[in-house]
Structures are given as C-alpha cells and as structure tokens.
Amino acid sequence: MMHLIIGYAYSQSLPLTEENVVEVLAAADQFLVSGMVQACSLFLEDQMCLRNCVHIWRLLDFYSLPELRNKVFLYILKHFEEIVFSTQDLLELSLQQLAAILENDHLNVRREDVVFEAVLRWINHQPDQRRGHISELLPKVRLGLLNADYLKNCVMDNVLVKNSIECVPIINDAVTGFLDSRSGTSNSASSNHLNRPRLPSSILLVSGGSERSSFRVYDARADHWVTVSAGGVRRTHHGAAALNSLVYFIGGCTAERYLNTVQKFDLATGSCHQVAPLNCCRSALSAVVLNGCIYAIGGYNAHVYCDTVECYKPETDCWTMVAPMHSRRCSASATTLNDKVYIFGGFNGHHSLSSAECYDPRTNLWTLIAPMRSCRSGLGVAASRGRIYAVGGMIHETCHLSTVEVYNPQTNRWHRAPSMSAPRSHFGIEVVDDQILVVGGYNGYTDVLTVERYDEEAGLWYRASSIETPQNSLICCVLHGLTGLVENLFPRGSPTFPNAAGTI
C-alpha cells in the first residue's frame, strides 16, 4: 500500500482492481490522500452492480463518502427485487441497515409481499439470534398494500408473527387500515404508514390534447394524477420521446402551421430549450428511442403523407434521414423491441392500414412483417415481455375499436387479447410497472377522460383514476430516476434515510 501511495504521489496514477480497491481505500483514507480516495470512489461507482452493491454500501459505513453512499443506497432501492433473492450480502446486513432499506418510500417493489419475504429470509439466516426482531421489521412492511389472502394466510398465520405479542397491535393496525382503505373511509393514503404506497421509480408524463399549458403526470403506485406547467411547449399532434430524463417534443402543429421544430423539456427544472429542427414538418408522426437515438417516423405536413424517417443523435444535435418505410402513414404507432423499431397501422390519405413494418438500424432497412388482423389508425402500441400489443384505434370515422391484438416477433404471428372496456382512438399509451396504461382519447362521439390498465398476468383490464378533462391526441412518455422530483410531485411525508447517508 505504501508503494502505491508513493507511486501515486509521483505519477498520479493508481492501478485499481476489484481485489485491491478496498485495501487501497483504507490506506488512502488513513493517510488522508484525497486524490486516491476519490479515485477509489469513482472505481467503486463504476464497478457497482447487483452482485456487489450491498457489499459496497456496507463498506462505505467506515468512510466519509456521503455522495457515493447515497448513489449506492438508491441503486439498492431501485433494484431491490433483483437483489433480494440473488445475493447473500443482504443476509449479512445489520438490523438497522435492513430496516433503513425496507422503510424507505423509494423502495422499488411492485408487490409488497417481496418485502415480507425479505424479512423472513433475513431472520431465517440466523433464526436463533434474529427471530425476536420480527416485531421491529414487520412495521417496515406496508401491510395494508398486501393482497387480503396473503395478509391472512402468509403474514397473520406465520409462526414468527403469531408467537410475537409485540406483533398483535401491528397486525390490528394493518387490518383496520386495510378495511378502511377498501371502504373509502380512510382520510389519506399517506396517513397510515402501513397503508402508504411506495414512491414510483418511474412516472408517466402525458402531453398533447387541446390544453397545451400543462402536462399530466401519473403516479402508478398511488393511482394519482398531478398537473405541472408545460413551460414553453405549445403544440399538438406532435411526437414525444424520453431520453436521459429529458422529454423531446417533436414536430406537430399549432393553429397556424405545421412544425419541424423540436423542444427539449426538463421536467425537474421546468426549463425548455430548442434543439435542431427536423428536416421536414411532421404532424401526427410517431417517435421512439432506440440505442440513445430518437426516430421521427412518418406523419403529415399539410401536403404529403410521409414515408420518410429521421434519426436524432443528442451528442451531435443533428437529424439525419434514414431509409424510408414501405408505406406512407400518419396517426400510426411505433415502439421498440429487441433493438429494432416497429410501426403499425396508420392512415395513408385514403384509408386506415393494417400493415406493419420493422426497422433494423444496423442494416438501415425496413422489412414488412405480418399485418394486423384489423385496419387501425389512431391506435396505440406498446412492447411488454417480448410481445407487442396493438390497442384500439379506428377503421374509419364511424368505427372505433376496443379490441387488442398481440404480435409475437419470434413467430411473426398475431393473436387476440382481451378488449378494453370501451373503444378509443388517438389516446396515450405506455408501459408502467409492467402494466399497459391507456389514457384519454376519442370514442367516435366525444373525447374521453377515462384511463385503463392491462395486467398481463391476470389477462384483465382495470379502471384507473381518470384525467381531469376529456382529451384526445395524447402522447405518453415514461421518465426514470427523478428521485427528488418524485418526492415533490407525490409527497408521502418525510423520507427516511440511514445514518450518514446524507440527503438526495
């Protein structure tokens, strides 16, 4: 270690490896060599993965590196479901460390039973020493969010819980909160900690419609909408794409003209900036993100229904033309899967289309794939679990669809899926927490404000909270990793962080 320290003093270089970084950090910290400490910190951050993140977090208890400790802590919270059953390091946490993770509102779990199973796994690792801690860890589980059968059969009937007198009031509070929330008598979803939804790891932003002065932002965990200012965005029938926690609003139109302009919007700051314009005006286009690039596909420019496609690279701030599609189409819908771009349906100036195409950026070629069973324009498509869902849309102005069909790229075949509760076209669609959400739209008679979500495991559509006003021509984007913004938009109370973790 002294050889490395002296070498660093002369050369400012440090040969770090996974095998020596812990020992180097200890020596650098002991001798107050701040440059080496910083180098070790950057190395640990770069090497952080599911396999070692818990070990790194425990290691940082001994050093004053609050920024890195925060990043590692957030990484653990974000990937908890993947970590909890794949690493032994979680079992070596202290009671206080495990509690700090489980009680945090940012803990990213789609189902709360994962948290209870983590508690049991930790206790069963050293049952004689740890079984008495069940009453301290049980309140960290949001028991009111559990399925009723799971709460009764797996929690209340668990031998550790049943044998702990301290757990009785916790269970009573959970049952009371559970019954109140389902009868609608509870004052607030956040008033009872056992009943309080976790904060979302990703949020849904909805733009478009006739009200262009604001966006809707959705918290899927609490089924709650908030409205935020649209900043300088003033357009409709546009494309939108989320990239690097920013939203790009692409083309579209105003009451006066069709647009080729593109705006980059930062939801965290509310700021909006112009970036390079498209090569041509496009309204009712499709937009997707693939491998760090944005693709603007098809559309209409008041004269021509477009088959052209443009690709934007943010590092060069430049749009370039790529291979055109086989068909002209606007009001189509596109998504990405397996490093390819897929586009479905749309309108070619004469009729709605059933055709579909696939673009491979490696070959710069569009390939026709199996057509949908129905012609659809104004549809929505979303990729989920290796399949692509084509939802709703219209065949013509008097025939709007509630039907859903699913494309399997491995077999190049379509099959039916359960229909929505009502027809709609020109709606927003995205995948949030492994569920497909459809927002607003037009049903052939009027704009709608209803929202539905599709649970693929259950094979059912469920009603979600509606948006405030009926809207069509909506566009959805999903944003990830905006921890501080999520806290401000959807407050749950004061977030709890472990000692020495600092603030986020």
Query: SS3 sequence, 300-331?
Result: ECCCCECCCEEEEECCCCEEEEECCCCCCCEC
By the 8 A CB rule, do 474 and 451 touch? no
Q: How confident is residue 209, by pLDDT bands cut at 50, 70 and 90?
A: confident
Stretch among 30-34, 121-125, 189-193, 387-391 having the lowest mean pLDDT: 189-193
Q: Are residues 57 and 139 in the same domain?
A: yes
User: Is the residue at 365 inside a domain?
Assistant: yes
164, 180, 195: which is the final residue of a domain? 195
Predicted confidence at residue 437, as pLDDT, reads 98
User: Is the residue at 113 inside a domain?
Assistant: yes
pLDDT at 445 over 70: yes
Q: What is the pLDDT of residues 270-312, one digit of tens each?
A: 899 999 999 999 999 999 999 999 999 999 998 999 999 999 9
Which residues, in sequence order, are CB contacts of 112 under 8 Å at separation 6+?
A: 141, 142, 143, 145, 146, 198
Q: Are residues 212 and 188 in the same domain?
A: no
Q: Directed axis angle between helix 34-47 and helix 66-78, to 10°?
A: 10
- For residues 498 and 56, which has the higher predicted lDDT (pLDDT)? 56
Q: What is the pLDDT of residues 304-350, one digit of tens each?
A: 999 999 999 999 999 999 999 999 999 999 999 999 999 999 999 99
Q: Are residues 117 and 239 in the same domain?
A: no
Query: SS3 sequence, 422-472?
Result: CCCECCEEEEECCEEEEECCECCCCEECCEEEEECCCCEEEEECCCCCCEC
User: Is the residue at 16 inside a domain?
Assistant: no
User: Is the residue at 428 inside a domain?
Assistant: yes
| H/E stretch holding 123 | helix 113-125
Q: Report how far apart, in Å, the C-alpha atoms of 209 and of each of 253, 254, 401 are.
A: 12, 12, 20
Residue 125 sits in a domain whose CATH number is 1.25.40.420
Q: Tokens 């099959």 belong to which residue?
A: 415
Q: What's the full length of the chain, in residues?
A: 504
- How many structural domains compose the chain? 2
Supply 426's token pair: 């020109």
Q: Are residues 321 and 285 in the same domain?
A: yes
User: Is the residue at 143 inside a domain?
Assistant: yes
pLDDT at 406 over 90: yes
Q: Are residues 88 and 153 in the same domain?
A: yes
Angle at 271 between CA 268 and CA 215, to 5 degrees: 70
Predicted confidence at residue 255, as pLDDT, reads 83
Residue 210: is it exposed, middle or buried by C-beta count within 10 angstroms (0-12/13-18/19+)? Answer: exposed
Q: Are residues 131 and 220 in the same domain?
A: no
Q: How confident is residue 195, by pLDDT bands cut at 50, 70 and 90?
A: confident
Q: How confident is residue 227, by pLDDT bands cut at 50, 70 and 90?
A: very high
One-letter amino acid of 371: P
Q: Are residues 275 and 351 in the same domain?
A: yes
One-letter amino acid of 359: Y
Predicted confidence at residue 458, as pLDDT, reads 92
Q: Directed axis angle between helix 34-47 and helix 2-11, to 10°?
A: 100
Range 379-394 average pLDDT = 97
Q: Are residues 443 and 423 in the same domain?
A: yes
pLDDT at 221 over 90: yes
Q: How many CA within 13 A on the CB side of residue 400?
A: 19
Q: Tokens 């989320």 belong to which residue?
A: 242
Predicted confidence at residue 189, as pLDDT, reads 43
By the 8 A CB rule, do 319 and 311 touch? yes
143, 163, 195: which is the final residue of a domain? 195
Q: Tokens 């569009």 belong to which residue?
A: 366
Predicted confidence at residue 212, as pLDDT, reads 62
Cα distance between residue 167 and residue 155, in whole Å? 10
Q: How confident is residue 414, by pLDDT bands cut at 50, 70 and 90?
A: very high
User: Is the residue at 39 inside a domain?
Assistant: no
User: Is the residue at 494 inside a domain?
Assistant: no
Q: Could you give phi then psi for residue 192, rounded to 5 degrees? A: -110, 120
Q: How confident is residue 493, by pLDDT bands cut at 50, 70 and 90?
A: low
Q: What is the pLDDT of residues 59-82, one digit of tens each?
A: 998 888 999 999 999 999 999 999
Q: What is the pLDDT of residues 102-111, one digit of tens each?
A: 999 999 999 9
pLDDT at 177 over 90: no
Predicted confidence at residue 121, as pLDDT, reads 96
In 167-221, alpha helices (H)? 167-183
By the 8 A CB rule, do 232 and 141 touch? no
Q: Are residues 56 and 169 in the same domain?
A: yes
Predicted TM-score (pTM) of this structure: 0.89
pLDDT at 180 over 80: no
Residue 422: is it exposed, middle or buried by C-beta count within 10 angstroms (0-12/13-18/19+)? Answer: middle
Supply 127's token pair: 């049952």
pLDDT at 29 over 50: yes
User: Is the residue at 360 inside a domain?
Assistant: yes
| H/E stretch holding 25 | helix 21-30
Predicted confidence at residue 494, as pLDDT, reads 45
Which string of DSSP letters, residue by residue, matches 40-70? HHHHHHHH--TTTHHHHHHHGGGS--HHHHH
CA dihedral 313, 319, 320, 322 (to 10 degrees): 80
Full domain range(s) for residue 107: 48-195
pLDDT at 265 over 60: yes
Q: Are residues 405 and 265 in the same domain?
A: yes
Predicted confidence at residue 217, as pLDDT, reads 95
Residue 216 sits in a domain whose CATH number is 2.120.10.80
Q: Are residues 345 and 374 in the same domain?
A: yes
Supply 125's token pair: 């690792």
Q: Are residues 162 and 242 in the same domain?
A: no
What's the whole-number average pLDDT of the chain? 91
169, 195, 221: which is the final residue of a domain? 195
Predicted confidence at residue 123, as pLDDT, reads 97
